């Protein structure tokens, strides 16, 4: 049984700690099979890059934007369909 991904937009994480907790939460969602992380085959896997996740029940893709301390606190937003 597929579960709906009731994800809410986060335009700006309130702190590095909130971003870190969110990363743990979304990685747990992947582990539980609710979504999958989408990798670019040429992209290096490190913690300081944007990450993309697809909800398995809706096929909607979301972007986890990496924070850039002092400039941008990171975000979690749906990717617009083209």
Beta bridge mates, 38: 52
Task: Map tokens 């989408």 to a residue.
Answer: 38
Give CA–CA dist 27/51, Å, rounded: 11
7-60 confidence digits (pLDDT tens): 999 999 999 899 999 999 999 999 999 999 998 666 555 555 789 999 999 999
* Contact between residue 67 and residue 10 where contact means Cβ atoms under 8 Å apart: no
Give this prediction's pTM. Answer: 0.83
């Amino acid at each position: 049984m597929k579960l709906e991904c009731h994800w809410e937009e986060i335009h700006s994480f309130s702190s590095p700690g909130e971003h870190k907790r969110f990363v743990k939460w979304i990685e747990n969602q992947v582990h539980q099979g609710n979504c999958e992380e989408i990798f670019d085959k040429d992209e290096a896997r490190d913690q300081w890059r944007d990450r993309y996740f697809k909800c398995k029940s809706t096929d909607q893709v979301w972007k986890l934007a990496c924070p850039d301390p002092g400039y941008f606190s990171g975000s979690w937003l749906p990717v617009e369909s083209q």
